[in-house]
């Protein structure tokens, strides 16, 4: 088996949360460079627009932004609806969609849950509200986004080519962090 066949993402639709900066930006670029259509999302709409401009300049895959604040459940729901709407409207241009009974079947092949946060306070000063905020983004919204997008992931899946969910975590979950958080 050829490695390019094993890891081919050309024509796939990908969503990268936190995809405008840092590790998420690098993940987004890797997918675009290999021919995927990548939607990036984060709270920072300007960073999303900048990243999309840079990624589309690569002229390989395609990038688009759907800014959303994942601390807010309603933004997660809006993101899922917007992704479905955008992919339905571009279905004629893309080869990975199926048209049946004059209806579009919207698909998402890869979901990368990358958004995350931390609170920079020492353990004995860490406020309860900060703990709630960190767990909301790093844990609860990973579940929320995955749950909302499962129908799109299921539509894209096939026995030989399942959809993928990639959850990005912190190395601080495996070792004692450098910062006292």
Residues 19-50: tens digit of each pLDDT:
999 999 999 999 999 999 999 999 999 999 99
Distance of CA 19 to CAs 8, 112, 121, Å? 20, 9, 26
181 domain-assigned: no
In a domain, 130, yes or no: yes
Inside any domain, residue 141? yes
Backbone angles phi, psi at 39, to 5 degrees: -100, 130
Q: Is residue 178 part of a domain?
A: no
Is residue 48 a part of any domain in this protein? yes
Per the domain annotation, does 110 fall within a domain?
Answer: yes
Residue 175 lies in a domain: no
Residues 110, 165: Cα–Cα separation, whole Å: 6
For 57-86, what is the mean pLDDT? 94
175 class by beta-carbon count within 10 Å (0-12 exposed, 13-18 middle, 19+ buried): exposed
Query: What is the CATH number for 146?
Result: 3.40.50.720
Query: How many domains does the chain divide into?
Result: 1
Answer whether residue 176 is part of any domain: no
Distance CA 125, CA 109 (A): 42
Global pTM value: 0.85
Range of the domain at 100: 3-170
The H-assigned helical ranges of the chain are: 3-6, 22-33, 45-56, 73-89, 128-135, 141-156
Q: What is the pLDDT of residues 112-132, one digit of tens each?
A: 999 988 888 888 888 999 999
pLDDT in tens, 86-103: 766 444 333 333 333 334
């Amino acid at each position: 088996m050829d490695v390019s066949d094993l890891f081919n993402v050309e024509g796939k639709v990908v969503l990268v949360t936190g995809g405008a900066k840092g590790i998420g930006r690098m993940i987004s670029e890797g997918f675009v460079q290999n021919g995927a259509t990548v939607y990036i999302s984060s709270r920072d709409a300007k960073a999303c627009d900048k990243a999309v401009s840079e990624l589309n300049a690569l002229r390989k895959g395609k990038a688009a932004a759907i800014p959303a604040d994942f601390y807010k459940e309603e933004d997660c729901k809006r993101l899922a609806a917007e992704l479905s709407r955008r992919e339905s409207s571009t279905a004629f241009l893309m080869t990975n969609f199926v048209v049946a009974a004059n209806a579009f079947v919207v698909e998402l092949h890869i979901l990368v849950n990358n958004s995350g946060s931390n609170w920079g306070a020492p353990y004995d000063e860490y406020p309860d509200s900060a703990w709630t905020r960190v767990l909301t983004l790093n844990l609860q919204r990973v579940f929320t986004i995955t749950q909302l997008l499962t129908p799109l992931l299921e539509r894209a899946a096939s026995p030989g080519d399942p959809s993928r969910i990639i959850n990005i975590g912190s190395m601080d979950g495996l070792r004692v962090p450098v910062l006292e958080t």
